[in-house]
Structure 1
Amino acid sequence: MYLKYQLCALCFNYSESQATLKSHLEELKCHFTWGLQEKDADLEELKERLNKQLKYLNVDCKGRVYNLLAYVTHLKNDNTEAIVYLQKAEAILWDSKVLETDKKYLMTFSNYAWIYYYLNDSESSKLYIEKINTIYMQSKGLEGLVQSETYGEQGWALVNFCGQYYEKAKDCFEEALKANPDDPEWNTGLATVVYRLEEYRSKRRPYLKYVSFQLLERAVKLNPKDSVSKALFALKLQELKKQEEAMKYIKDALELTPDLPYVLRYVAKFYRRAGMFEEAIGVLKKAVSITPTSGFLHHQLGLCYRQMLIQRNRTGRGDKSGQDTQKIKDLMEKAIFHFEMVLEVKKSFLHAHFDLADMYVRSNQSKKAEETYKKATELTTTPEYEKQQAHLEYGTFLENCKKSEDEAVDQYKEGLRIQKNEYRQQCETSLRRIANQKLKRNPSDVSGLALLLFISKENQDYDPSNEE
């Protein structure tokens, strides 16, 4: 629990060793102690994304981004530039006339202390620890609000770092709200992360659909000027078949910030889900003109063109004339172009790999499809359940498109070995089906029997307690 240590634990005389200094630093609450692991994120992509955010976020949120940029820059071994980012974060508080003894300085001062430690400037590091100690002393009687601040900032840091940390971020926002239940920022943070968790893990936890609805509704009430929350709430209303009310919130979000890319992308998603493809494409093109290297925007454009293609094929539009053939070709090329653009700017976007591979299959480019699925299985920053999905998707392609049963089996096996239950059953079902087909042809088939033994062993070794 935060503030578990006594205030005096931060006090020390300046003759203490570096090891002792390190132990005091480890008590601080900041990016260096929040478990943000370099291996879990693409640092180049993360830094670029954070710099984009600085162009459009309000001033209060920019300080948070500068702090995370300082930590990311430290991970890239440039502590001098990290100090510059922290100075920018501090300047925002200073310009807002926030006193140095305010709890809002805790994260920035803590990051300063760590960066100076890595710069071998022990005196400066100790100076910032003393400043932090002063803030705690000035906050006697307000420990709950200090906890709320540190938990809330940790929550946003986890959200912004990578999708693997959404569960931890959710826990942090819930803790932040215990002491300060009406804080708009922490309510928005909790609503946002639960919405994203639902988007990513809806198959496993459909109940989040209703939780995120309530949280987004509360966030909008507490912060009616937050256009992003309104856009997310509109998407949730749309999903719950409340189209008229949803449209109202989408219009409100657009009126509040008509040129904010983070709102435009959700508005476009809303239109796409409503089948309003031309409107969605118009909004996305506007957003892309503002942020041309946004992977999310290009992904949404690709989805629009693919859905238009699917709809055209499903309804049997066209008379197989040259004009219709050209239209289909144009839609394919546009979808492929935008999905390829996604992976140029965000190589770790797993589902864009699946979508691009799907379009390669549809356009009879099987070799490119296989290369794309293979890359999806080789991504190093994806969580385990997504790696499991990648092996399943690749295996399905190998079995159905390449007609390579043995290679497909290898992928299904890899998926079954992963200690997650997201796509495990589908991997097992595929393996059993292949085994049973082999044994139906020949009851003594060694490879078929070996597959059933493999499944049995993996199920014995499977430990459900590893699930999140």
Structure 2
Amino acid sequence: MGEIADVHQIQESLAQLRCPFTWELKFEDTDKPDLENRILEQIEFLDVKHNVGVHNLLAYVKDLNGQHEQALQSLKDAEDLIQREPADWRDTLSLVTWGNYAWVHYHMGSLTEAQAYLDKVEDTCKKLESPFRYRVECPEMDCEEGWALLKCGGQNYKQAMACFAKALEVKPECPQCWTGYAITAYRQDYDDDNVISLEPLRQAVRLSPDDSYIKALLALKLQDVHQESEGTKYLEEALSSTSCQAYVFRYAAKFYRRKGCLDEALHCLEKASQATPSSGYLHYQRGLCYRAKLIQVKKATNKNPRKQYEIEKWAQRARCEFQKALTLKPTLDMAYVCLAEMHAELGQYKEAEETFQKIFNLKNLADHIQQEIHYRYGCFQQYQLKSEDKAITHFLKGLKVEERSFAGKKLLNALEKLATRRVHQEENVESISLLGFVHKLKGEVKEALLCYEKALRLTGKLNPMF
């Protein structure tokens, strides 16, 4: 045990630790309340074996909010859980927890206590024969860092994937690492033609057959790739378990909604809301079910005016749910899009426009979300406001976002239909050039060149005899 160092030495030592305070977790100040609520929900409802990291992350968030005593309580909770963890994880979890203790005491001005926890870290590093005084390089630590990054949201997913991948290079059969890797991959799987999460999810289920949460995710991914019958099997297994039910019901609702079984989806959401009644995500999912009901009525009635009241009923219910979702979770970006669309459905175009503009002012939107927003706003301009020029502008803006996603395909298809129709109406330079651009984006070089040549002829800049 070393003597108490001065403040500068303590600062240098703290910077060498591996814990949430040094893992460069990215999120906005406005995200903190939502992050804290999600962590508290996970502590209460996510029945996982490896739960120390959640308490450590909560301590970090509490400390950022200046709630140092509450942060210390969260760390005590983490310490109490460490002995229940697998033996090969205990030292790593202790290092993370003690590192957090050192940081919190430092922020409280308690340098003696901070040094005491630094000494504990140092002793454990010596025991583990680490070449570093205050840190250990091992797959368990990489996995812990990956989980912290994963829980802090989309800006951290690529870094989280790298942490889990690094850990799996050393421990290729580690259940915790595969679960973290699979969840992170699932949350980045935006393109059905490039399914990065299916096999990792299968591996995670193989190594953690009792994990109903990961089974529910696998069910959704199988549904994505048109293997719904196999997905149903995994979902039923997840629903038959008693663990993680609040989360499993959420995913089951999404599965049934996409399957068209809306009553079953709403039943699952009701079950989930019994555990987490103030969840904005559940209101959002309920709104999606009501929107799907609206679409079903439209198709069944073929826009029969006598059924218009029923269409408005579902639109109003959906609008109400999306508004509740945003009240509870203002960072839920797609809820703004859906709310705007329900305003438009009800003829409230001014409110729809205002809501769309709120979305465009949101920060740190994922690329595939930006594409989806431009697509939906473009459709609003095209079909409700009858402004094809503004629709084209937003379809093009969405396509400038370089992300392979399902939204990107929808943008390209919408732009192609609009350009083709315009060419059929009038073969002018703008319409032909636009169609040529679409062919270029689709990799259809010959068709693109033919369009560009035709456009040039119309401008008189290309000799027809060439």
Tell me which residue corresponds to 2:278: 293
Deviations along 1:311-335, one digit per CA (max 9) or x if unpaired, are 22123369654xx444323221221
CA distance in 1, matches of 2:17, 2:243: 40
Read off the aligned partner of 1:73 and give its amino acid letter. K
Q: One-letter code of the match for 1:157? A: A
Deviates more, 1:140-149 or 1:245-254: 140-149
Provide the C-alpha distance between the structure 2 equivalents of 1:441 and 1:18, rounded to a whole number of angstroms: 75
Query: Is 1:197–2:182 an aligned residue pair?
Result: no
Alignment partner of 1:69 out of 54, 58, 64: 58
Report Cα offsets for 1:109-164 as digits up to 9, x if no partner: 11111111111111211111111122222223899995111111111111111112
More deviation, 285-294/388-397:
388-397
Higher alpha-carbon deviation: 211-220 or 221-230: 211-220
CA distance in 2, matches of 1:150, 1:70: 18
Unpaired stretches in structure 2, ≥5 consecutive residues: 430-466
Match of 1:31 among 14, 20, 29: 20
Aligned to 1:363: 346
Aligned ranges 1:449-464 → 2 under 5 Å: none
Q: Is the 8 A contact 1:40 1:162 kept in 2?
A: no
Which residue matches 2:365? Answer: 382
Any stretches of 5+ residues in structure 1 without a counterpart?
1-10, 444-468
Q: 1:188 aligns with which of 175, 179, 196?
A: 179
CA contact (8 A) 1:261 1:290 kept: yes
- Say whether the 8 Å CA contact 2:27–2:152 is kept in structure 1: no
User: Which residue identity is paired with 2:184?
Assistant: V
How far residue 387 of structure 1 moved from its aligned partner, in angstroms, is: 4.7
Contact 2:47 2:244 in 1 (8 A): no
Cα deviation, residue 402, structure 1: 4.1
CA-CA distance at 1:279 after TM superposition: 1.0
Equivalent residue in structure 2 for 1:336, among 319, 343, 348: 319
TM-score with structure 1 setting the length? 0.79
Relative to structure 1, the CA distance from residue 187 to residue 420 in structure 2 (aligned partners, 3 Å threshold; closer, same or farther) is closer
Given the alignment, which residue of 255, 258, 261 partners 2:240?
255
Corresponding residue for residue 213 of structure 1:
198
Is 1:173 aligned to 2:158, yes or no? Answer: no
Counterpart residue number, 2:68: 79
Question: Is the CA contact 2:215–2:234 (under 8 Å) kept in the aligned structure 1?
Answer: yes
Does residue 278 of structure 1 match 2:267? no
**213 and 131 in structure 1: CA distance in 2 versus 1, 3 angstrom threshold:** same
Query: Aligned pairs, how many?
Result: 422
Query: Could you say which residue in structure 2 is the equivalent of 1:327?
Result: 310
- Residue identity matched to 1:21: I
Amino acid at match of 2:180: G
State the shift of 1:344 in Å. 1.2
In the alignment, does 2:207 pair up with 1:222?
A: yes
Q: Where do residues 131-170 of structure 1 align in structure 2 (5 Å cutoff)?
A: 131-140=120-129, 147-170=138-161
Name the structure 1 match of 2:463: none
Judged with a 3 Å threshold, the aligned counterparts in structure 2 of structure 1 residues 424 and 267 are, in CA distance, closer, same or farther, namely closer
Q: Check the 8 A contact 1:42/1:381 in 2, yes or no.
A: no
Q: Given the alignment of the two structures, is residue 50 of structure 1 paired with residue 51 of structure 2, yes or no?
A: no
Shift of 1:103: 2.2
SS of 1:102's equivalent? helix
1:103–1:146 contact (8 Å) kept in structure 2? no
Amino acid aligned to 1:265:
R
Which AA in structure 1 matches 2:191? S
In structure 2, which of residues 211, 216, 240 is the aligned counterpart of residue 231 of structure 1?
A: 216
CA distance in 1, matches of 2:257, 2:89: 47
Tell whether 2:4 aligns with 1:14.
yes
Q: Evaluate the alpha carbon distance shift between residue 142 and residue 229 of structure 1 in structure 2; reply closer, same or farther with a 3 A threshold.
A: farther
Provide the rounded CA distance (Å) in 1 between the counterparts of 2:153 and 2:352: 26
Q: Would the alpha carbon gap of residues 385 and 292 (structure 1) be closer, same or farther in structure 2, given more than 3 Å must change?
A: same
Partner residue, 1:456: none
Distance 1:40 1:411, change over 3 A: farther
Tell me the amino acid that sits aligned with residue 316 of structure 2.
Answer: E
How big is the alpha-carbon RMSD for the aligned residues of Structure 1 and Structure 2?
3.7
Q: What's the offset of the Cα at 1:395?
A: 5.7
Distance (Å, rounded) in 1 between the aligned partners of 2:236 and 2:396: 48
Whether the 8 Å contact between 1:158 and 1:165 is mirrored in structure 2 is yes
CA contact (8 A) 2:213 2:244 kept: no
TM-score by length of 2: 0.79
Aligned-residue offset at 1:212: 1.4
Cα deviation 1:261-280 (Å, max 9, x = unaligned) = 11011111111121111111
Contact 2:213 2:247 in 1 (8 A): yes
1:430-445 matches, cutoff 5 A: none
Contact kept in structure 2, 1:83 and 1:112, CA below 8 Å = yes
C-alpha change, 1:88 and 1:281, in structure 2 (3 Å) is same
Contact 1:377 1:391 in 2 (8 A): no
Question: Whole-Å Cα distance in 1 between the matches of residues 90 and 295 of structure 2?
Answer: 59
Percent identity between matched residues is 33
